[in-house]
Structure 1
């Protein structure tokens, strides 16, 4: 599938079930201990290295991670491919900034953010698009800035044809953590920590958290 193709199918799917997704408690991050811990660590480092720059939540959906980070004192805004998701995020978080856009083609100036979170959003990006994706992350990240990427682990592509009672065509790319870490290294992002966890009782898939940073200029 071409890059344009996977963007279109992903946007269409999330536009279709946006309201149901936002209401689903399984997509809340507050009750999940490891998500909460890693986002908390990210927030602490991001606040320390901010230099007056905000954090970008890429693939923000209805803004739950964006709101969580804001509650931790982070200056954060969200970007998502789905206009319906962005409309819900703005409605639920009127004081925060949310923009429609693609994390594969970020419309942000170089070195304009102090941190990037991509929580369960790279799962829809095919392997061949990962190098340019992380090159884009590195471009917009200020030196010393932080990146937290969260994704499903495995080594296969899964297609979801139904979600919340709707027919969809949504691909999930499951990857070993080492593969994602190598793609981040190739973009100049230095891994600082990782966490691997199995599924919670209501989940099916194991997950990985990779924390990296862009080196400071010499």
Structure 2
């Protein structure tokens, strides 16, 4: 069963709570700034793929970079537009990107692949590869653990959520098969109870 519609419904219901929990969370910033943002050209065009409330979109404000955020949750997009008013936000599925080829110098997909079925991950990554400029940079943030599975949402226990967690080896394999070269690949322990660790990857087209 494709979990997309249930995921959208869940995030529409929990958008404000998710924002309250994570919009100011800086756990991932050291890696993102060092391994992703530092590799981008000064006037880069950046896509935040699965932007949620704009948690990562906001990192590019105050720079000369142009950032676009996409998401399927209307409520998340409404909040993102308020949080980051100078960015561009569009309703779009990361598995069916409609941007022209070579549209972006960088793409960050933070905690969005974790809601994609394993069989669809190659399609998503090939889509990212297509819309990146030559030598464009991709940043993926996910979590370590079991592949396709349903579980109680750790942030909203009354909600069931689909997760697709990774290992470093599994994520690296997906990226290389999609035509990317790995630049950085890290695992950091997670203090939460629902995933073993955070998985971070930066790759070049």
Query: What is the TM-score when the length of structure 1 is the normalising length?
Result: 0.85
1:45 matched residue in structure 2: 39
2:105 matched residue in structure 1: 114
> Among residues 174, 178, 185, which one is paired with 1:187 in the alignment?
178
- Distance in 2 (CA, whole Å) between partners of 1:153 and 1:163 is 15
> Among residues 123, 144, 148, which one is paired with 2:114 in the alignment?
123
- Distance in 1 (CA, whole Å) between partners of 2:33 and 2:193 is 22
> Among residues 2, 7, 10, which one is paired with 1:13 in the alignment?
10
1:29 matched residue in structure 2: 25
- Distance in 1 (CA, whole Å) between partners of 2:99 and 2:73 is 18
Q: Which has the higher helix share?
A: 1
Deviation, structure 1 residue 44? 1.4
Deviation, structure 1 residue 165? 5.2
- Distance in 2 (CA, whole Å) between partners of 1:101 and 1:186 is 24
1:153 matched residue in structure 2: 144
Instruction: Describe the shift of the 1:28–1:203 C-alpha distance in structure 2 as closer, same or farther (beyond 3 A).
Output: farther
- Distance in 1 (CA, whole Å) between partners of 2:3 and 2:133 is 29
- Distance in 2 (CA, whole Å) between partners of 1:37 and 1:198 is 15
SS in 2 for 1:22: helix
Contact 1:116 1:137 in 2 (8 A): yes
Mind listing any 5+ residue stretches in structure 2 that lack a counterpart? none
Instruction: Describe the shift of the 1:210–1:163 C-alpha distance in structure 2 as closer, same or farther (beyond 3 A).
Output: closer
- Describe the superposition over 1:158-214 as per-residue Cα deviations: whole angstroms up to 9, x where unpaired: 4234566574331111121211111111111111111110014x5642011011000
- Distance in 2 (CA, whole Å) between partners of 1:87 and 1:126 is 26
Deviation, structure 1 residue 107? 1.5
Say how many residue pairs are matched.
Answer: 203
Mind listing any 5+ residue stretches in structure 1 that lack a counterpart? none
Most deviating of 172-181 and 111-120 = 172-181
- Distance in 2 (CA, whole Å) between partners of 1:156 and 1:182 is 14
Instruction: Describe the shift of the 1:136–1:156 C-alpha distance in structure 2 as closer, same or farther (beyond 3 A).
Output: closer
SS in 1 for 2:25: coil
1:95 matched residue in structure 2: 86
Q: How does 1:129-168 map to 2 (within 5 A)?
A: 129-161=120-152, 167-168=158-159
Instruction: Describe the shift of the 1:198–1:107 C-alpha distance in structure 2 as closer, same or farther (beyond 3 A).
Output: same
Contact 1:29 1:65 in 2 (8 A): no
